Amino acid sequence: MLRLLQCEYIKLKRSKFLLIGILGTLIVPLFVYVKAIINYLSNPEMVMSLFSLYDNAFMFLMLLFAPMVLTILYAWIISREYTDGTLKNIFVIPVSQTIFFCGKLLFLAILTFMFMLISWLEILVLAFLCNCFIPVTELTIPSIIFFLIKMLLGGILLFATQTPFIYFTIRTRGFVAPLIAITAVILINVVLSSSGVAGFYPWSASYLLISGHLSRQSCPKEISISIILIMCLLGIIASLLRFKKEEIK
């Protein structure tokens, strides 16, 4: 498995897509700070807290930005094996399709964690910088670790909710279909996230679980987690079955 991960890493060398993804990840924390500073300037009595910064970041990341960026990145990493025609070189080596697929999945999960860590780190660095001019409360080590854990949990949920798009990518051998699908998912996120049924919608539920806002909803936590888990497993199984049926035509 380590060999597969090493190969996936090499494949990304000089890739503009990864760079664009990382730059994209940097946008959300910046946006959160710009919004917070504007609010502070209009209302100087307002307290800027690490909690509110991360809470806003979770909302933009989990509901809007990360699903889009990750879908594009996942779809590109998978579909390039079709568009570059490299599958015919891979299928004749002694690595089973299942192991190859699992290696790919693990690599995508690691990328997701990497993006979440970058976002976490950026918010933290900006909080320290900001603290030099505008006081930021809750800037303590327990809070920092608490949000690191939340970010990593967010990464797990983001990865889990991406598996249907992995299936679309394998099924269509390109990234147009998953891109259209994620756009629709995000639009529904916007409509549903503040409604009472958001906990039943896996992509909104991920955000609600991480932000702790699910308690305000009618959906029990266990149901939301189960829906996400079932969707994740179905996505992985369908993708794997489809990938194992691949033929080089």
**Among residues 37, 40, 49, 91, which is the contact residue for other proteins, using CB under 8 A?**
91
SS3 category, 136? strand
Q: Is 244 in the site for other proteins (CB under 8 A)?
A: no
Q: Distance (Å, rounded) from C-alpha 162 to C-alpha 245? A: 21
Per CB under 8 A, the segment of 10-18, 105-113, 147-155, 235-243 that binds other proteins is 10-18
Q: Is 22 in the site for other proteins (CB under 8 A)?
A: no
DSSP state of 140: S
Min dist CB 28 to other proteins, Å, is 27
Q: What are the tokens at 129?
A: 């910088």
* 8 A C-beta contact, residue 154 and residue 63: no
Q: Is 241 in the site for other proteins (CB under 8 A)?
A: no
User: Quick one: the chain helix, strand, coil %, rounded to 5?
Assistant: 80, 0, 20
Min dist CB 169 to other proteins, Å, is 17
* Cα distances (angstroms) measured from residue 147 to each of 114, 127, 215: 15, 13, 19
Q: Distance (Å, rounded) from C-alpha 60 to C-alpha 125? A: 18
Q: Which ranges of 43-96 would DSSP assign to H, the alpha helix? A: 50-58, 66-83, 87-90
Size of interface with other proteins, in residues (CB under 8 A): 25
Neighbouring C-alpha atoms within 13 Å toward the C-beta of 116: 23
Q: Pick between residue 45 and residue 247 the one whose CB is nearest to other proteins.
A: 247
Q: Pick between residue 91 and residue 200 the one whose CB is nearest to other proteins.
A: 91
Q: Distance (Å, rounded) from C-alpha 131 to C-alpha 245? A: 55
Binders in 153-212 for other proteins, by CB under 8 A: none
Q: Pick between residue 84 and residue 145 the one whose CB is nearest to other proteins.
A: 84
Min dist CB 84 to other proteins, Å, is 6
**Among residues 23, 85, 176, 187, which is the contact residue for other proteins, using CB under 8 A?**
85
Q: Pick between residue 6 and residue 183 the one whose CB is nearest to other proteins.
A: 6
Per CB under 8 A, the segment of 7-15, 111-119, 134-142, 195-203 that binds other proteins is 7-15
DSSP strand pairing (48-49 vs 136-137): parallel
Q: Distance (Å, rounded) from C-alpha 144 to C-alpha 142? A: 5
Give the residues lining the site for other proteins (CB under 8 A): 3-4, 6-7, 10-11, 13-15, 80, 84-86, 88-96, 247-249
